[in-house]
C-alpha cells in the first residue's frame, strides 16, 4: 500500500510465467496488436501510436520529452512535486528552455497560471502537467488546459503514471497530445513497461524534427516501425512483461474503466472517513485529492520511519514516506488497482490506529475502522 508497485492479480502472475517466444513470432505480434487495442481503451484514445515503452514509467516521461523537444524549444511545466521537477530536469537535458509554473507541494497548479505562462511567450512548443502527482497526492485539473491548447501549435503532454485506470483520463476528449503511464500503479501489473500514446499532432511534431532524437533506445521514429506494420526490429521487446501487461489490461476491461474509477473513489472515501475519525488529515489540497494516492500528515511527535517500520514488521504492510520537502511530514498510502480493496482500507487503519495509540496519541480503539466500515456501508 505504498506509492507502487501495487498488488498484482494471480492471473497476471500466471501470465508472467508462460514460456518465452520470439519478439517477431506471429503469436507475439498478435499479442502486440491486442495490447495496443487495450491500451487505446484504457487511455480513451484512437491514437495509432499507442504502445508500451520497454522500460518503467520514468522512461515514458523521458520518451515524451526527448521525442517532442529540441534544443531551444520553450516548454511550460507545472512544478508542484517530484515528478513535475523531474520533467524540468529532463527538459534541461534536452537543451530545451523549461519554464516552471510552481505551486506548493500538495497543491495543484492553477490552469489559469499555466495558460498565463503560455501567453507570455512568443512560442511554446509544449505544456507539461502531472495528472496525478504521486509525491503529494494532488489531482491536477487538465481538461481546461487541453481545450485551450487544442487549436494552437502547442503540444499538451500529460503524466498519467498514477492516474491511468484509477481516475477519469480522456486522452482524446481532453486534447492530450502525448501521455504516458506506468504499469505498476492502477494497472496492477509489475513495473517494467510504460504505456504511451501520441496524437497525430504529436506525431507530426516528431516527423518535423530538425535533428535525431537524442535517445536511440526511446526513439519513437524507430519504435513505431516495430509496433506498426513494418515490424522492423529495433530492440528485443520484454516478452514476459508484455504477457503480464496484456493480462492486466484484460482485467481492466473486464471490470470496466468506469467501474474501476468508482471503486478507487469508494475506497478512498472510506479511508478518508477512517483517518478523520482518529484525527489524521489528508495533506493534499482539498477538492483535488487523488483517490489512489493518499498523503497523510504525520501528527506532531510521531516519527515517520518508526511507524512505517512497525507496520512492515507487525502487519507485513508497506506504506510510503514523503519525498523532498514532504520527507518526514507525510505518509503516502496507495490504494491502487488490485490493492484498492475494503480489506486493505481496514487493515491500514487498524495498523495506524494501534501504532499511534502505542506512541501515546489519544485514539479510540476501533474508531477508524468503524468510520470506514460505515462509509463503505453507505456507498
Contact positions toward a second copy, by CB under 8 A?
2, 4-8, 13-14, 16-23, 25-26, 54-59, 62, 66, 86, 89-90, 92-94, 182, 184, 190-192, 212-218, 233-241, 244, 312, 318, 323
As measured in angstroms, the least distance from the Cβ of 321 to a second copy is 9
As measured in angstroms, the least distance from the Cβ of 20 to a second copy is 5
As measured in angstroms, the least distance from the Cβ of 344 to a second copy is 14
Whole-angstrom distance, CA of residue 296 vs CA of residue 300:
12
Q: Which is it for strands 132-133 and 138-139: parallel, antiparallel or unpaired?
A: antiparallel
Match 537524442 to its residue by C-alpha cell: 214
As measured in angstroms, the least distance from the Cβ of 59 to a second copy is 5
Whole-angstrom distance, CA of residue 342 vs CA of residue 323:
27
As measured in angstroms, the least distance from the Cβ of 200 to a second copy is 26
Which residue, 64 or 149, has its beta carbon nearer to a second copy?
64
As measured in angstroms, the least distance from the Cβ of 213 to a second copy is 8
As measured in angstroms, the least distance from the Cβ of 250 to a second copy is 17
Which residue, 146 or 322, has its beta carbon nearer to a second copy?
322
In this structure, the number of other CB atoms found within 10 A of the CB of residue 170 comes to: 14
Which residue, 146 or 334, has its beta carbon nearer to a second copy?
334
Which residue, 140 or 183, has its beta carbon nearer to a second copy?
183
Whole-angstrom distance, CA of residue 302 vs CA of residue 376:
28
As measured in angstroms, the least distance from the Cβ of 323 to a second copy is 7
CB–CB of 70/121 below 8 Å? no
Which residue, 82 or 345, has its beta carbon nearer to a second copy?
82
As measured in angstroms, the least distance from the Cβ of 238 to a second copy is 4
Match 504529436 to its residue by C-alpha cell: 202
CB–CB of 337/331 below 8 Å? no
Closest CA to 302 of 225, 235, 354, 347: 354
As measured in angstroms, the least distance from the Cβ of 336 to a second copy is 11
For residue 171, the SS3 value is coil
Helices 57-68 and 200-207: crossing angle, nearest 10°?
Answer: 60
Which residue, 116 or 216, has its beta carbon nearer to a second copy?
216
Whole-angstrom distance, CA of residue 250 vs CA of residue 246:
6
CA angle, corner 153, sides to 150 and 159, nearest 5?
60
Count how many Cα atoms sit within 13 Å of the Cα of residue 349 in the half-sphere of its side chain.
Answer: 32
Backbone phi and psi for residue 152, each to the nearest 5 degrees, phi listed first = -100, 180
Match 487538465 to its residue by C-alpha cell: 142
> Residue 321: in which H helix or E strand, if any?
strand 320-321
Q: Is 252 left (phi over 0), alpha (psi -120 to 50) or beta?
A: alpha
Given CA atoms 199, 204, 208, 212 in this order, what sign does their dihedral have?
A: positive
Which residue, 211 or 258, has its beta carbon nearer to a second copy?
211
Taken as a whole, the chain contains a residue count of 379
Which residue, 62 or 73, has its beta carbon nearer to a second copy?
62
Amino acid at each position: 500500500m505504498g506509492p507502487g508497485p501495487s498488488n498484482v492479480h494471480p492471473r497476471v502472475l500466471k501470465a508472467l510465467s508462460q514460456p518465452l517466444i520470439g519478439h517477431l513470432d506471429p503469436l507475439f505480434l498478435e499479442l502486440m496488436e491486442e495490447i495496443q487495442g487495450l491500451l487505446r481503451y484504457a487511455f480513451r484514445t484512437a491514437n495509432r501510436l499507442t504502445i508500451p515503452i520497454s522500460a518503467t514509467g520514468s522512461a515514458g516521461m523521458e520518451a515524451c520529452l526527448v521525442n517532442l523537444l529540441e534544443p531551444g524549444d520553450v516548454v511550460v511545466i507545472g512544478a508542484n512535486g517530484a515528478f513535475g521537477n523531474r520533467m524540468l530536469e529532463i527538459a534541461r537535458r534536452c537543451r530545451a528552455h523549461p519554464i516552471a509554473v510552481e505551486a506548493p507541494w500538495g497543491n495543484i497548479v492553477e490552469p489559469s497560471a499555466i495558460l498565463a505562462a503560455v501567453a507570455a511567450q512568443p512560442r511554446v512548443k509544449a505544456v507539461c502537467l502531472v495528472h496525478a502527482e504521486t509525491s503529494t497526492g494532488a489531482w491536477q485539473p487538465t481538461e481546461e488546459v487541453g481545450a485551450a491548447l487544442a487549436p494552437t501549435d502547442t503540444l499538451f503532454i500529460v503524466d498519467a503514471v498514477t492516474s491511468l485506470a484509477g481516475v477519469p483520463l480522456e486522452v482524446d476528449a481532453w486534447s492530450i497530445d502525448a501521455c504516458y503511464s506506468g504499469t505498476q500503479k492502477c494497472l496492477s501489473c509489475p513495473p517494467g513497461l510504460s504505456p504511451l500514446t501520441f496524437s497525430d499532432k504529436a506525431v507530426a511534431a516528431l516527423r518535423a524534427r530538425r535533428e535525431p532524437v537524442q535517445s536511440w533506445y526511446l526513439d519513437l521514429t524507430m519504435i513505431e516501425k516495430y509496433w506498426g506494420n513494418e515490424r522492423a526490429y529495433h530492440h528485443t521487446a520484454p516478452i514476459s512483461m508484455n504477457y503480464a501487461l496484456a493480462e492486466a489490461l484484460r482485467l481492466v476491461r473486464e471490470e470496466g474503466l468506469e467501474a474501476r474509477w468508482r471503486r478507487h473513489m469508494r475506497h478512498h472515501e472510506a479511508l478518508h472517513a477512517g483517518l478523520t475519525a482518529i484525527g489524521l488529515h489528508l495533506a493534499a489540497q482539498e477538492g483535488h485529492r487523488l483517490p489512489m494516492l493518499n498523503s497523510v500528515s504525520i501528527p506532531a511527535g510521531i516519527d515517520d520511519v518508526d511507524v512505517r517500520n512497525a507496520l512492515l514488521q507487525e502487519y507485513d504492510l508497506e506504506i510510503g514516506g514523503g519525498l523532498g520537502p514532504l520527507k518526514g511530514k507525510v505518509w503516502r498510502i496507495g490504494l491502487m488497482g488490485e490493492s484498492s480493496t475494503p480489506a486493505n482500507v481496514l487493515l491500514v487503519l487498524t495498523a495506524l490506529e494501534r501504532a499511534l495509540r502505542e506512541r501515546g496519541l489519544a485514539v479510540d480503539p476501533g474508531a477508524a475502522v468503524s468510520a470506514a466500515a460505515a462509509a463503505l456501508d453507505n456507498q
